[in-house]
Structure 1
Amino acid sequence: MSLLIYLVVVSLLLPPANAQSSTVRLALTRDEGWLNPYTYQSGYPGWNIMTLVYDPLFYPDLNNEPIPWLVRDTRVSTDGRTWTLTLRPNIRWHDGRPLTSEDVKFTFEYAAKVTHSRWTPTTRNLDGVDAPNPQTVIFRLKQPDAGFRLRTLADVPILPKHVWEPVTTVAAARAFRNTVGSGPFRVEEVQDGQFYRLSANPQYFAGPVKVREVVLPIIRDATVSFTALQAGQIDANARTLSPELVAQFEKAAGIKVVRGAGFASTILQFNVEHPLLKDARLRRAIAGAINTTLMVRLLMLGYAVVGSPGYLHPDSPFYAQGLKFEGSKAKSVALLNEAGYLDRNRDGIREAQDGTPLQFTLLTLAGNPVRIRGAELIRTALKDVGIGVNIRVAEDAAIIDQVWPEFDVCKGRRFDMAVFGWSAPVMSRPTALVDLFHSNCQIGAINIGGYKNPQLDRLGEQLVVTVDPASQKQLAAEMQKIVAQDLPIHVLFYPDTIMAYRQSAYGRWAFQKGQGYVTKLSFVDPPK
């Protein structure tokens, strides 16, 4: 479809904005299922949009600190194992039924039985959930949990028991189209692959919603989406602004550009179960051959921070100071030679000692020019040190099928390397290092490379039960040092969060640190 025809289709699908800004048109990058907790697709913006319809017990504020949302009062026992929460009064589901502690209890018991890559791991430390009365819920933990407030209470959306109780299998949950939530918006219309239409919940317990309607067109092509924004056919874009467009949009009349540190990551993900890539020396040689500073300059025009070898962003309070990975072509060549990876047949590609060529397939995401160009730079850099790379550009579903089948790392993996990325929430808590790198697939729920290190496992198991911030920081630093040495992933860069919107259409966007303005807080104030 040509750009012109596409924009005409978009304009026909969407209602015009009016002077009262009662409709906000926010473009999404992809289809997000039915916007319920078992069908949404992406960490960002999928989770953010889904939580316009559903509420967790807490919610991350603009600094990513969890604040009470459905909860009015919280009491924690001295041993950190019993959390007693009191729900706010007069919270109702979109169908008018009251939200009670039974719904909360059901949600966590449901997540334990009906597997979900994000929700199920949060239940593994639960010894039980009690609902002694409609307004009180008691969580009994097997052991103290450093990330319980942020990773569990501020992340898991509460489900209506009366709607979800009959849905008993993973397959049924992933196909379930009901979207009755408690959030500030109701799902009014879903056109598969085209758009969503949400309407404000007039009885929202937290107070009035700031817009009457949010329309979410799905515009997969980045160029088309930014052209639509400039033409006034959409009001805002869930995508971060392409670096080459920043100066242009800053000069454009009626458009506001906002910028902050980005906590999303762009990484080179290794399959460390691969017969060759299980060798940390080879991974270090590959990483060393890639000039990430050049990548930031060429791909991001400087609007990014070079990646840390320990994964966490330098702005994270848990970042391990002093970690550096200083590679070069010369160092990579020397490391490859020392490890016995030589070009024995003089074809330009090195071989392992058993004769297996260092030839790999690199997956990257279609419709993402930065990742595609990044893959090309990686291919060129590795060719210069005798490593062959075939780039495979694929749609998101095809990549997930090979890298993270059914979003369950216990199901293994079928890839060599991938230009991948994690959304901002993964960066916001120290226990993300456990999720990313613990070898037990029930604990390392997003360890998509199959990385194993017993020492890191032990540190991670300590971290998740440590509540003292200083001790957390020390354990996180030790884990980052191991990751920096083993390099199961190579963080290329952290893109700055640069977003644009049309001020005349809606000017009350709230910018969340590391993520941007696609947040519930852009449309409703926190409950008092």
Structure 2
Amino acid sequence: MKRRNLIQMGAASAAGLTLAGVPLHLLAQGKKGGVINAVVQPEPPGLMLGITQNGPTQMISGNIYEGLLRYDEKINPLPSLATSWTVNKEGTLYTFKLKPGVAWHDGKPFTSADVVFSADVFLRKTHARLRANLAAVESIKAIDPLTVEFKLKYPFGPFIGIFEVGSMPMIPKHIYEGTDFATNPANATPIGTGPFKFKEWVKGSYIQLVANDKYHVKDVPLVESVYFHVIPDAASRAAAFESGKVDLVPGGAVEYFDVLRLSKLPGVAVTTKGWEFFAPHSWLWLNNRKAPMDKVKFRQAVMYAIDREAMAKIAWQGFAKPATGPFNSNIKFYSTEVAKYPRNVATAKKLLEEAGYKGETLRLLPLPYGETWARSAEILRQNLAQAGIKVELVATDVAGWNQKLNEWDYDLAFTYVYQYGDPALGVARNYTTGNIAKGSPFNNVEGYSNPKVDELFDAGAKESDPEKRKAIYLQVQKILLDEVPVAWLHELNFPTLYRTKLNNIISSGIGLNDSLGTATLA
């Protein structure tokens, strides 16, 4: 089937459904009104999604703003502000038809001019990840008030995957054009097109959203208000859920041992859905610039020394799956036809000897995100010690962790990253030479460089044929698993706790970040 036709079919098949596949008649079964009390952790630094893209901001503001598309759990594109889209046979011209009758929260109409301003002006300046994805774009034009054309310089295989609300939020041109984006007073009172409007922010206490009564989807939202409560301590967040103060706890907001306990309470459920687009992937940064991490055999020894199964069971309470390599199994072109690294201490010791490891003590930087990560670091330290690698833990706070990785001041360090459904969007950045740059804890922090890998990632991004992309990315995975630039740990499954009186809280591949419009209270 031609790629152009496939994309058109995707739009057509979803056109009769509300918000990523939730039919209107199912939403109508919910009770009109009611309030959802949720936890946000930590308190976001801001809510202007075009400027701030951290997790808490995306969770709240993804329900204030919208993108042209949404994505289901298989990362298939679905309509949102765009109702349909086509692409030419060369894969270089994408044309989006916008939904008529959409208004900003202040009543002004949403048009193609807003799309051009958002993508080509505002976000190119403020959104580093999108700016990189738009490098392939030659021009963005408003053909008429409800038609937008993206012309590419060359085919960019994952292009249709960059239109979700966190990657390309639509920004109101009439509010931001000609202003200093970073200091515009409107940043404090965000205005989008989404199902909820900003109401109030009491710093250190809560953020309140209220229903957009003029939302462009009929009978949505059904919930009248959402409060995001700021509760700094993990034990207090667990207690707030147990007491009934909050109804909804997003993934990572309470410790994993508390998730299991709380999920057994009457009227409580837990789900790991809603993270498919992000595909959280954890690993151990290995500073390739320094001995002994500069030796491939040493890095392979680390891979063999780690007991991923035990770490998943003990530290993650089963909410993690051992990673098999650089690609999360939820993203496109993941393959199992690659080298395996089951735990084998004897093999690890042999490789260490061949690598010439002299027993020097290495600094291990844990991730300062709570007890689960602390336990993971201790298990890893024990695993490496059993193989003969000496490690000392270097504790930091979040700011310190960021600074050390930004400056490459580490030997081994924990991290996790999002992979955004496609290797060109969320994997290449961690292994290509062009992404070796101080100042970010999420680029090629390990300092790995292989011209062949650079070439393959570049070819994979520019190839539009899925079968050819699959072959390219299989080569990439094989090389990376042989050279082990980092030690891959787990595919993370962040569990969301919620009261069973809540329905349809997850309706997309990014979960709570754009699904609260579908939520209903029984």
TM-score, normalisation: structure 1: 0.82
Shift of 1:427: 5.1
Secondary structure at the aligned position of 2:462 is classed as coil
The answer on whether the counterparts of 2:69 and 2:81 sit within 8 Å (CA) in structure 1 is yes
The answer on whether the counterparts of 1:332 and 1:385 sit within 8 Å (CA) in structure 2 is yes
* Distance 1:322-1:509 versus aligned 2 partners, 3 A rule: same
* Distance 1:427-1:289 versus aligned 2 partners, 3 A rule: farther
Cα separation, 2, equivalents of 1:51 and 1:301: 29
Secondary structure at the aligned position of 1:119 is classed as helix
Residue of structure 1 aligned with 2:337, choices 322, 326, 348: 322
Cα separation, 2, equivalents of 1:269 and 1:427: 20
Deviation string, structure 1 residues 290-329 (Cα, Å, up to 9, x no partner): 211221222133342111123322x545221233113422
Asked if 1:73 is matched to 2:84, the reply is: yes
The answer on whether the counterparts of 2:309 and 2:322 sit within 8 Å (CA) in structure 1 is yes
Task: Map 1:197-216; keep pairs closer than 5 Å.
Answer: 197-207=208-218, 208-216=220-228
Asked if 1:507 is matched to 2:503, the reply is: yes
Shift of 1:246: 5.0
Mean Cα displacement is larger for which, 24-33 or 187-196? 187-196
Secondary structure at the aligned position of 2:162 is classed as helix
AA matched with 1:268: L
Unmatched 5+ residue regions in structure 2? 1-30
Deviation string, structure 1 residues 338-362 (Cα, Å, up to 9, x no partner): 12122xxxxxxx1xxxxxx342241
The answer on whether the counterparts of 2:308 and 2:489 sit within 8 Å (CA) in structure 1 is yes
AA matched with 2:435: C
Shift of 1:141: 0.5
Cα separation, 1, equivalents of 2:123 and 2:427: 22
Residue of structure 2 aligned with 1:362, choices 334, 344, 365: 365
Cα separation, 2, equivalents of 1:450 and 1:462: 21
Residue of structure 2 aligned with 1:380, choices 367, 379, 382: 382
The match for 1:104 is 115
Residue of structure 1 aligned with 2:416, choices 396, 417, 421: 421
Residue of structure 1 aligned with 2:423, choices 430, 440, 464: 430
Deviation string, structure 1 residues 6-55 (Cα, Å, up to 9, x no partner): xxxxxxxxxxxxx976210111221222222244352x454243211111
The answer on whether the counterparts of 2:333 and 2:474 sit within 8 Å (CA) in structure 1 is yes
Asked if 1:129 is matched to 2:140, the reply is: yes
Task: Map 1:487-526; keep pairs closer than 5 Å.
Answer: 487-504=484-501, 506-510=502-506, 512=508, 517-524=511-518
* Distance 1:176-1:473 versus aligned 2 partners, 3 A rule: same
Cα separation, 2, equivalents of 1:393 and 1:21: 46
Deviation string, structure 1 residues 118-161 (Cα, Å, up to 9, x no partner): 22112111101111322221111011111111124663111112
Shift of 1:110: 2.4
TM-score, normalisation: structure 2: 0.83
Aligned CA-pair RMSD:
2.9
The match for 1:253 is 266
Secondary structure at the aligned position of 2:366 is classed as strand
The match for 1:177 is 188
Residue of structure 2 aligned with 1:469, choices 451, 466, 471: 466
Deviation string, structure 1 residues 175-215 (Cα, Å, up to 9, x no partner): 94341212111221223343211111111112321211111
Shift of 1:372: 0.9
Shift of 1:363: 3.4
AA matched with 2:235: T
The match for 2:399 is 397
The answer on whether the counterparts of 1:28 and 1:239 sit within 8 Å (CA) in structure 2 is no
Mean Cα displacement is larger for which, 227-236 or 129-138? 129-138
Unmatched 5+ residue regions in structure 1? 1-18, 343-349, 351-356, 406-411
The answer on whether the counterparts of 2:283 and 2:416 sit within 8 Å (CA) in structure 1 is yes
The match for 1:3 is none
Cα separation, 2, equivalents of 1:161 and 1:442: 35
Shift of 1:235: 0.4
Mean Cα displacement is larger for which, 93-102 or 316-325? 316-325
Shift of 1:173: 7.9
The match for 1:15 is none
The match for 1:221 is 233
Matched length: 478
Shift of 1:168: 4.3
Secondary structure at the aligned position of 1:233 is classed as coil
Shift of 1:417: 2.5
The match for 1:450 is 447
Cα separation, 1, equivalents of 2:282 and 2:450: 23
Residue of structure 1 aligned with 2:98, choices 72, 87, 96: 87
The match for 2:475 is 478
The match for 1:159 is 171
Shift of 1:105: 0.9
Deviation string, structure 1 residues 466-515 (Cα, Å, up to 9, x no partner): 222222222222211122122222221223343321123x23322645x6
The match for 2:129 is 118
Cα separation, 1, equivalents of 2:214 and 2:143: 26
Q: What percentage of residue pairs aligned between the two structures are identical? A: 24
